[in-house]
Amino acid sequence: MYKIKSNSFYFSLLLILLFIVFVNQRVYADETDRVYSISFAELKSLLNICVPHRYSKLMDTVLAAKKENKTPKEIEKILLLQFNIKKSDLLPLLKKMNVPDKMEDFCTDMMLNKNPVLELVIKGAVTAPKYSPQYNMAKKFIKDIKKTLSTMGSNFNIRVVLYPGGVMGDEPDFIRKVRLGQLQFASGTLAMGEMVCPALSVFDLPFLFDYEPRLYYDELKYCEIDWIFGKAAPTINRLLEENGFILGGIVDVGGYINIASLNVPIRTAADLKKITFYALPYSRIAGDVNEACGFNKTIVCKIFDMPAMVATGMLNSGPCAWYTQILMQALSSTFKYVTSFPIRGYMGGISLQSKDMYEDLLKIAGISEVFTGITKEAALNSARNILLLQYKTIKEEVRYKIRSLEAKSRKVIIEKKIYEVVEMKDEEIEKIKSRVLPLYYELADKKGKYPKWFLDEILSYREEYRKFKKEGKLTDKWYKEGIYPDGYDEYAWIKTWGE
């Protein structure tokens, strides 16, 4: 009998201890920040929140209590004493304000100052394959974004999901999905940008940029390409914003584009008649340019289809981005020759972001600081900081990381004689140039492929660069600090964005 009582006593004691532990854990859980993970599409539903006038005093009181860092219990007491609202009344109250179901618990925690954390899931796609320099730099940028969010308080976090090389489709799919809100940003070729901003087609013109191999490959310094993109950035962004996008930055994809060929060493302008070259299906002017250059034929194909097209003999040439040739062994093991001069011009890439994303975040911040914990001013500053960080990262790190890889790859290919570099005499280059230059204004005036005024603007920036270069005024300051010799601030448009 004694043994039974003793066992019952210990069993009861164990239950009491477990209850105490359980209560303590619940208290601890209530005091611990909860993380609510939500997609941008779900967050956008906060735009439907409407606070009836009869609750405006209540919301002002809650906000004041939160700013005084009142505890949840203290705020519950204030709600009960001043408005006769119990904690159990908050859910029906939030429903009256059109708070979406998935956000109810978060908004309740925000009202009671429980410091919940909203983890916003933002999705993006890049054309570059996984672990490529572009992909790796995008991942690094994502980490850097978090450093800029301190002005938005401790209740906000971003988790970025990045889809590489073809996972989300081709570049036209990227643009469509950003417009539908399924993606919030996309990075790809400049041809992708042409689908949003036709003016960007200008950069597909051969001979637009001076060929500066010493600056570009040997010294890895800024050159004419960087000057023009820096000057044109505000205009490009304005044109993009008119179509629902924001400029993240412009980057080298292949830089100067020489032509690699299979069985035709291109030494003269006439040799181009023996060449079948490619064009992306969404490029606005590639076919016109190829015809003007004098290529025998243009084959329309996607980026990832190019190795197969070469292998089957449909293409007997391709753009020689030096690093890409090493990455894509299917190409570098097939081609034999490469031109010494970038006949086909420049190949660039662009990062685009959803304008709606930024504008909706600002609107949500302005609805009620009670629910978001973010002032509109803090949200605007953070948006600018993120835009500036991305632009600078692309300009100062991504562009030059890729350029460095291009330089090293070029050196390897030439020194190890992976390709035979075919020299073209100046007079042969001039023959090709004489075919292409009349196309500049013909594509604008007669075919309407891009605005004439934008072409004029780009050519004026080119003349500026050449003038300052001749006068020896291109000091380090213009590319390290973004301040040009004429006083132009490359980052001014970002610093004032949203005004």
Q: Is residue 104 domain-shared with residue 129, that is, in the same domain?
A: no
Q: State whether 83 and 146 are in the same domain.
A: no
Q: Which domain holds residue 39?
A: 34-112
Answer yes or no: do 198 and 251 share one domain.
Answer: yes
Say if residue 108 is in the same domain as residue 130.
Answer: no
Give the whole-angstrom CA distance, residue 307 versus residue 200: 26
Q: Are residues 50 and 129 in the same domain?
A: no
Residue 482 DSSP symbol: S
Per-residue confidence of the chain (499 residues) as pLDDT tens digits?
444 444 444 333 333 333 333 333 333 344 457 889 988 888 888 888 898 999 999 999 999 999 999 999 999 999 999 999 999 999 999 999 999 888 899 999 999 999 898 888 889 999 887 877 667 767 766 666 666 655 555 677 788 888 987 788 889 999 999 999 999 999 999 999 999 999 999 999 999 999 999 999 998 888 999 999 999 999 999 999 999 999 999 988 888 999 999 989 999 999 999 999 999 999 999 999 999 999 999 999 887 788 788 888 899 998 888 887 776 654 556 789 999 999 999 999 999 999 998 898 888 887 778 888 788 888 888 889 889 988 988 888 888 888 898 999 999 989 989 899 999 999 999 999 999 999 999 999 889 999 999 999 999 999 999 999 999 988 878 888 889 999 999 999 999 998 8
Q: Is residue 9 part of a domain?
A: no
Give the H or E element holding residue 54.
none
- Global confidence as pTM: 0.87
Q: Is residue 485 part of a domain?
A: yes
CB 107 within 8 Å of CB 99: yes
**Of 60, 88, 112, which marks where a domain is finished?**
112
| CA–CA distance, 348 with 194 (Å, rounded to integer) | 12
Specify if 304 maps to a domain.
Answer: yes
Q: Is residue 21 part of a domain?
A: no
Query: Using an 8 Å Cβ cutoff, are 189 and 349 in contact?
Result: yes
Same domain, 73 and 124: no
Residue 425 has a pLDDT of 95
Estimate to the nearest angstrom the gap between the alpha carbon of 483 and the chain centroid.
23
Instruction: Report if residue 338 sits inside a domain.
Output: yes
Among 112, 145, 175, identify where a domain stops: 112
> Burial level of 139, CB count in 10 A (0-12/13-18/19+)?
middle
Q: Could you tell me if residue 198 is inside a domain?
A: yes
User: Can you give the CATH number for the domain in which 268 is found?
Assistant: 3.40.190.170
Residues 75 and 125 in one domain: no
Which pLDDT does position 150 carry in this prediction?
52
Verify that 373 and 469 share a domain, yes or no.
Answer: yes
The total number of structural domains that make up the chain: 2
- The region, left, alpha or beta by phi > 0 then psi within -120 to 50, assigned to residue 439 is alpha
Residue 419 maps to a domain: yes
Q: Tell whether 249 and 274 lie within a shared domain.
A: yes
- Of 112, 129, 156, which residue constitutes the final position of a domain? 112
Please give the pLDDT value at position 21: 35
Are 332 and 418 in contact by the 8 Å Cβ rule? The answer is yes
Q: Are residues 107 and 125 in the same domain?
A: no
3-state SS string for 402-465? HHHHHHHHHHHHHHCCCCEEECCCHHHHHHHHHHHCCHHHHHHHCCCCCCHHHHHHHHHHHHHH
Vertex 402: Cα angle to 173 and 285 (nearest 5): 45
Question: Does residue 480 share a domain with residue 365?
Answer: yes
- 73 and 141 part of one domain: no
